[in-house]
Every structure is written in structure tokens, then in C-alpha cells.
Amino acid sequence: MNPDRDVEIKYTKIFINNEFVDSVSGKTFETINPSNGRVITRLQEGDRHDIDKAVAAARNAFKRDSVWRKTDASKRGKLINKLADLIERDSHYLASLETIDSGKPYRGSLYDVLGSVAYLRYYAGWADKVCGKTIPVDGPNFAYSRLEPMGVCGFITPWNAEMLTLMSKLGPALATGNTVVVKPAEQVIHKSFITIYKIVNF
């Protein structure tokens, strides 16, 4: 199968707190198809003010009584598997985006997309299996360890393997109950992470 060279660009805004928004500054920038030098689209240009908004939203989503914090580990695994299903369903579209985005051959792009699905399925299986230990101690004492999520995780993804790298980080972070803020490479328009937020945000 060949890439769709006229692939539709569906999203150009920043996704924060379950909605698409313009950058605080209102600035945009062009993203270029490296294979022909043509402008693909214009994107909102985020800066530290947008990062602050995203981090605040992620912190709020991580609060002790939030929906995400109260989500059972088994349900987190189901949500991650749902994301894997949707990426697999739209693999041709996403691989086509990756190809015009980074200049990568379609076969390599498809490999990255399907590899991302594999990453997510692997980590979805761990969601309800990360647990602490009971530790033998002397005397009438009881000792144990408990593994808990850290909080907001910040990820910066590279231009040449953005989706694959993102899923290798996103999978374990979400499986263990953390929240995530992603800063994609500005050299590309890769929109796969948009889908992620739409699924994991309630």
C-alpha cells in the first residue's frame, strides 16, 4: 500500500484540558514536507505560557479525588488497549501523516505505527500487575512497599520517530496512573498524540 499524499490535516491547535485551543500568544508557524519543500499547514506555536496551562491541567487531573486517580488499574489497561485499537484501525492514515511529516518512507512509517500499537498493548497488560511487596522482618512487625504514581510526566518527542517514542513513554506512564504533558518536535506536525488525549481524558 502507498501513502495517501493528500492526507487530510484534521488538527492544528494545541490540546489542553480536553479541548483544542489557540496558543496564548496567538502565534503560528509553518510545517514543511521535507520531500518537496511545500507547506503542509500552519500550527499553533506554543511557548512557556502554554506549557504552564498544560501542566496545571495535568496536575488537576492527578488530584487525589479526580476521575483519573479513582480509575481502577484494570480500566486504565482497557483504555490503553482502546487507544491501541484505534491506532491500528487508522494505521494507514497515521502512517501517511508520518510520511509527509518526516520524509520517512511509508514502510518505515507503518512500522512505527504498528510498533506503537504493540507498545501500548504490552503496557496495557501491566496496568493491574504493578504492585508492592510484603517484606519479611524480625519480631511482631509488618513491612511492605507500595508503588504509587509520581504525578505529571513531561515528554519531549523527536522528529524522526515521534509516534513510536511517544507510545513507549506514554504506555507505562498511563498504565501506572500518571498524567502526561507532551511537547512534540516542532519540525513535524504528527497528530497521533491528539487521539491519545481524546481517549484518556474523561
pLDDT digits (tens, 9 = 90+) for 167-196: 999 999 999 999 999 988 776 544 444 444
- pLDDT value at 113 more than 70: yes
At 29, which helix (H) or strand (E)? strand 28-32
Mean pLDDT of 92-98: 93
Mean pLDDT of 108-137: 96
Q: Quote the pLDDT of residue 104.
A: 87
Type of residue numbered 183: K
At 40, which helix (H) or strand (E)? strand 39-44
Q: Quote the pLDDT of residue 74.
A: 97
Mean pLDDT of 132-143: 94
At residue 36 the predicted structure's pLDDT band, cuts being 50, 70 and 90, is confident
**156 in helix, strand or coil?**
strand
**Is 6 a member of any domain?**
no
**Is 3 a member of any domain?**
no
Please indicate whether residue 23 or residue 196 has the higher confidence score (pLDDT).
Answer: 23
Please indicate whether residue 124 or residue 183 has the higher confidence score (pLDDT).
Answer: 124
C-alpha grid cell for residue 144?
511492605
Residue position matching grid coordinates 496545571: 56
At residue 199 the predicted structure's pLDDT band, cuts being 50, 70 and 90, is very low
Tell me the C-alpha distance between 59 and 43, whole Å: 25
Mean pLDDT of 100-110: 90
Q: Are 163 and 192 in contact (CB under 8 A)?
A: yes
**Is 93 a member of any domain?**
yes
**Strand runs (DSSP E) across 70-149, as ranges?**
134-135, 143-144
**Is 37 a member of any domain?**
yes
Type of residue numbered 17: N
**Is 113 a member of any domain?**
yes
| Structural domain harbouring 121 | 14-201
CATH number of the domain encompassing residue 159: 3.40.605.10
Taking only Cα atoms into account, the Rg of the chain, rounded to an integer number of angstroms, comes to: 19
- pLDDT value at 119 more than 80: yes
- pLDDT value at 100 more than 60: yes
**Is 9 a member of any domain?**
no
At residue 31 the predicted structure's pLDDT band, cuts being 50, 70 and 90, is confident
**194 in helix, strand or coil?**
helix
> Please, which residues have CB within 8 angstroms of residue 64's CB and are 6 or more apart in sequence?
none
- How much is the pTM? 0.85
Q: Quote the pLDDT of residue 158.
A: 83
**Mean pLDDT score of the chain, rounded to an integer?**
89
Helix intervals (H) in 134-177: 162-175
How many domains does the chain divide into?
1
Q: Quote the pLDDT of residue 188.
A: 54
